[in-house]
Structure 1
Amino acid sequence: MNSTPDVASRSTTALGPQLRRRKSINMMISDAENNAGAGQLRRTLGMWQLTMISVGATMGTGILVILGATVPIAGPAIWISFVIAGITALLSAVSYAEMAGMVPVSGSSYSYTYATMGEGLAWICGWCLVLEYAVSVAAVAVGAGEYVNETLRTFGMELPASLAGGPLEGGVVNLPALIVVVLATLLLVRGMRESAIVNTIVVIIKAGILVFFSIVAFSAFNAGNFEPLLPMGAAGVTAAASTVFFSYIGFDAASTAGEEAKNPKRDLPRAIMLSMLIVTLTYVLVAVSAIGAREWQWFDGTEAALVQIVGELTGQPILVLVFAVAAVLAIASVVLTVLYGQTRILLSMSRDGLVPKVFSKVSPKTGTPVAGTLITGILVAITAGFIPLGALADATSIGTLFAFALVGVSVMYLRKKQPLATRTFKVPFYPITPILGVLACLFLMSQLGGETWVVFGIWMLVGIAIYLGYGRSRSRLGRLSKQDYIATHVGEK
């Protein structure tokens, strides 16, 4: 029952019933323990490391590179946009916390959806996660180039144009982006324990530079910069909230570590909630201090805004150098942890037969999916180094919001179908909280532009074609007879 069908095999289940087939939680846990003979991941992560994975995947992405694009939209009220996006993410985070405690495997919202809404929506969710993780990794890596240039400018130098952007951007390759992804890939191949140690150190550095920035910015704080608070109206604030939600992408990375956590049912919910608290408070603090230090119009078109503010206020090139280097490290930690999450989601999808088996093979030497990590890292490195992402990067927010909404629905489904199941964390104020989380996600999705929706629609059509052309015929669950399928769900309604 646990063997993956031969490539030449074809699904014996009609499409409609197959799309509705759910994978039992017990079967997921059994697969995690056995991994269909492909090797097991190693349980080496405690709550602190899990928290740092979430913080590392989240904090820094938006606050370091997104202010120049969003402050002109929201004005001084940009901090309110961060609060709105943070509340939306928090409403989803509590649902993630409950599901992570119930389904302690590597698939994150893909696995949660498979257990509740069936293979069809699970595939769509997984395909959204590929967009969220792989494309956002490439987009974040590209942001490292500007901070590398800020570092070099301290010495009166700058990257040549040929190494600062891809062929369609007037260059040859975005070298800093490519290098960051390659280094993160090699570290992940070496082992998760080593990666977690490096990530924890870098996250501490990241938090340190953001606190340092806030101290410097508050030294030049001008309350008048917040008047008028809403020059673009409430519509500008909500529009910016949809964009800055990109800054919260990654908090769910800890949920992909379900099979490498020492005590996943206890530690995953705690890590998710703690990371959200740390990230949201830090974002609001930095946004308020930045606006206090500079009028909101100053941010229009400004890249690497935080470094520029530090340089202008201190007049110390050495501080700019330290800050810029730390910023590159901060972005590198996002690349490391989000790339980690992508490889673990592909591992879960591979076990189910929906993507090639190579992604679920775990090296007995390192305890990591070496081949899958290398393949993913190479593809992301090429994307970051040579291909301008444009609207595809914006579409990551739609994919993420959709996946978050599905997790909220998953919580409500299991509360109804398995009310007596053990839960190490329960969503507070149920069912109001998950309902609000789903509605908030749908609202932010509605605020994104038409071009972004078109790109997202194309992405979904490609995903559906891949499922119908590859995944459906190789699905382990789809290959089960009706009797065998029912047997896997004994004890579940």
Structure 2
Amino acid sequence: MNLFRKKDIAHLAQDAEKSGFVRNLTAFDLVFLGIGSVIGTGIFVLTGVGAALYAGPGIAISFILASVACAFAGLAYAEYSSMVPVSGSAYAYTYASLGEFMAFLVGWNLILEYTVTCSTVAAGWSGYVVGLLTSGGLNLSIDFLKVPAEGGIINLPAVFITMFLCILLVRGTKESIFINRILVFVKIAVIFIFLCLAIPNIDVRNWDPFLPFGYQGIASGAAIVFFAYIGFDAVATSAEEAKNPSRDVPIGILGSLAVCTLLYFIVAMVLTGIVPYTQLNNAEPVAYALRVIGYPFGSAIVAVGAICGITTVLLVLLYGQARVFFALSRDGMIPKEICRVHKKYHTPYLVTIGGCILVSLIAGFVPINVIAEMANIGTLSAFFIAGFGVLYLRITRPEIKRGFKCPAIYIVGPMAMLSCGYLMYNLPALTWIRFIIWCIVGIIIYFVYSYKHSLLNK
């Protein structure tokens, strides 16, 4: 039994050409795809909570610290994607560098990341929409707005938005990207409106003390706001639909990460500058701050921005989830029959529909707070292995053509592992227990089914 058999990079390229996808995404599309997957509730909610409870005004530095961990992983992803321009993200990269068993574990954890995050985001979308409708005077029955554990029957809005986006994704990637671009423009416009209203009201005295919780507060804040960056790796799943993947995917990953970090930093500084950080521990800190400085319509503005933001995050994550399922299915890790590409729409429709149904069931019936932190550990584990794998390939396969070469790889690779490992270490023990159980289930599936049905076994 060879657990470390690898797919040759040339073979991966052949898989990409036979996939049936249409290459119609530009670098600009991929940057917007990344922004769409990252800028969501984090900028409207986590900024205030992180400042009030963990880092004070220093939450702006926490965002930068969290982005550094993502940047190290992003550089590794960028080099990987320029060598291995196929769907599957870190799963495909690991298959080419560290072998099948490690690749399966990475793919298994990517499924965890995307499914849990999509479910969490769908539930968040439901909360914002219901809040907006309630504030408008509509009395809605709790039976169809809450999961059973919270006194309802089903969270119907979460199911609705997931299946609506499912239809959009099945009908075509280009159409989905167009909708994503419009919604990204709207949410950036909302952020711009907030900054225009807030900047003239900054009181620098609110930044003193800048680090009320000390340097440990910055680190704790970074572990919390890391969730705000989950999703940028979805850009890497689009490689088989990019016009020039070796060039455009690295631009999409690093460009979107840079834009999002800048926006997070500016909003955090402005928010903590207009009201004392101690007042920001609430569900709508940005709207609250606008009301404090005399703009009571702030709640409506933020609600529109948040709904658009959450919609794009869910759209892109569902897109990425389907591509990970597709890559696993194509390689025989899960039943190969489900990786069919629609003849008319050129999309992996079966895995898209199946993934969306799974997300709908979780978002509709399960209290998401029970499993939300699982998204962080699944993502960080994939980033950790990506940092190791790209360093390993640079040493063992230096002759491979790379459209993008990660600078200072002997620093970036270890730092990706160290930073992600540190953030994983700071997650709760219960999250680790659930993660280990998830991995054990995956290992059982690999030995019972995947190893025997793998294409490399034939």
TM-score, structure 1 as length reference: 0.89
Matched residue SS, 1:376:
helix
How far apart are the structure 1 equivalents of 2:382 and 2:112?
Answer: 11
Please say if 1:25 is aligned against 2:4.
Answer: no
- 1:254-403 pair list within 5 angstroms: 254-300=235-281, 302-317=282-297, 320-403=299-382
Matched residue SS, 2:243:
coil
2:31 counterpart (45, 51, 68): 51
Kept in 2, the 8 Å contact 1:46–1:262? The answer is yes
Please say if 1:62 is aligned against 2:42.
Answer: yes
1:77 counterpart (46, 58, 62): 58
What amino acid is aligned across from residue 418 of structure 2 in structure 1?
L
Please say if 1:34 is aligned against 2:43.
Answer: no
How far apart are the structure 1 equivalents of 2:139 and 2:126?
Answer: 10
RMSD value over aligned CA atoms? Answer: 1.7
1:108 counterpart (89, 102, 119): 89
Counterpart position of 1:223: 204
The Cα of 1:124 is off from its aligned counterpart by: 0.8
The Cα of 1:321 is off from its aligned counterpart by: 2.6
Uncovered stretches (5+) of structure 1, i.e. residues with no partner: 1-13, 481-493
The Cα of 1:94 is off from its aligned counterpart by: 0.9
Please say if 1:190 is aligned against 2:171.
Answer: yes
Matched residue SS, 1:20:
coil
Counterpart position of 1:5: none
How far apart are the structure 1 equivalents of 2:288 and 2:354?
Answer: 37
Counterpart position of 2:386: 407
* CA pair 150-308 structure 1, distance change in 2 beyond 3 A: farther
The Cα of 1:326 is off from its aligned counterpart by: 3.0
Counterpart position of 2:78: 97
How far apart are the structure 2 equivalents of 1:305 and 1:69?
Answer: 8
What amino acid is aligned across from residue 284 of structure 1 in structure 2?
F
* CA pair 402-337 structure 1, distance change in 2 beyond 3 A: same
How far apart are the structure 1 equivalents of 2:182 and 2:342?
Answer: 26
The Cα of 1:445 is off from its aligned counterpart by: 1.0
How far apart are the structure 1 equivalents of 2:454 and 2:46?
Answer: 40
Kept in 2, the 8 Å contact 1:391–1:452? The answer is no
The Cα of 1:291 is off from its aligned counterpart by: 1.3
Deviation string, structure 1 residues 156-195 (Cα, Å, up to 9, x no partner): 3464433332111222222332222111111101100100
Uncovered stretches (5+) of structure 2, i.e. residues with no partner: none
Matched residue SS, 2:372:
helix
How far apart are the structure 2 equivalents of 1:472 and 1:61?
Answer: 40
Moved more, 343-352 or 237-246: 237-246
Matched residue SS, 2:241:
coil
* CA pair 447-342 structure 1, distance change in 2 beyond 3 A: same
Identity %: 39
Question: Number of residue pairs matched?
Answer: 457
What amino acid is aligned across from residue 348 of structure 1 in structure 2?
A
What amino acid is aligned across from residue 352 of structure 2 in structure 1?
T
How far apart are the structure 2 equivalents of 1:295 and 1:396?
Answer: 31
Matched residue SS, 1:431:
helix
Counterpart position of 1:484: none
What amino acid is aligned across from residue 322 of structure 2 in structure 1?
T
Counterpart position of 2:422: 443
Kept in 2, the 8 Å contact 1:148–1:325? The answer is no
Moved more, 443-452 or 222-231: 222-231
What amino acid is aligned across from residue 65 of structure 1 in structure 2?
V
Moved more, 59-68 or 438-447: 59-68
What amino acid is aligned across from residue 217 of structure 2 in structure 1?
G
2:149 counterpart (161, 168, 172): 168
The Cα of 1:470 is off from its aligned counterpart by: 2.1
Kept in 2, the 8 Å contact 1:165–1:173? The answer is yes
2:188 counterpart (207, 212, 232): 207
* CA pair 329-50 structure 1, distance change in 2 beyond 3 A: same
Kept in 2, the 8 Å contact 1:110–1:122? The answer is yes
Matched residue SS, 2:334:
coil
Deviation string, structure 1 residues 400-439 (Cα, Å, up to 9, x no partner): 1111111111211111122122111111122111211111
What amino acid is aligned across from residue 351 of structure 1 in structure 2?
R
* CA pair 201-243 structure 1, distance change in 2 beyond 3 A: same
How far apart are the structure 2 equivalents of 1:131 and 1:31?
Answer: 24
Kept in 1, the 8 Å contact 2:191–2:305? The answer is no
* CA pair 312-143 structure 1, distance change in 2 beyond 3 A: farther
Matched residue SS, 1:219:
helix
How far apart are the structure 1 equivalents of 2:217 and 2:12?
Answer: 43
* CA pair 311-159 structure 1, distance change in 2 beyond 3 A: farther
How far apart are the structure 2 equivalents of 1:352 and 1:311?
Answer: 54
Kept in 1, the 8 Å contact 2:48–2:286? The answer is no
Kept in 2, the 8 Å contact 1:47–1:268? The answer is yes
How far apart are the structure 1 equivalents of 2:142 and 2:80?
Answer: 47
How far apart are the structure 1 equivalents of 2:299 and 2:284?
Answer: 11
How far apart are the structure 2 equivalents of 1:104 and 1:77?
Answer: 38
The Cα of 1:55 is off from its aligned counterpart by: 1.0
Moved more, 198-207 or 305-314: 305-314
What amino acid is aligned across from residue 22 of structure 2 in structure 1?
R
- 1:449-464 pair list within 5 angstroms: 449-464=428-443
The Cα of 1:215 is off from its aligned counterpart by: 2.3
Moved more, 463-472 or 134-143: 463-472
What amino acid is aligned across from residue 352 of structure 1 in structure 2?
D
2:397 counterpart (418, 423, 428): 418
What amino acid is aligned across from residue 432 of structure 1 in structure 2?
I
Matched residue SS, 2:408:
coil
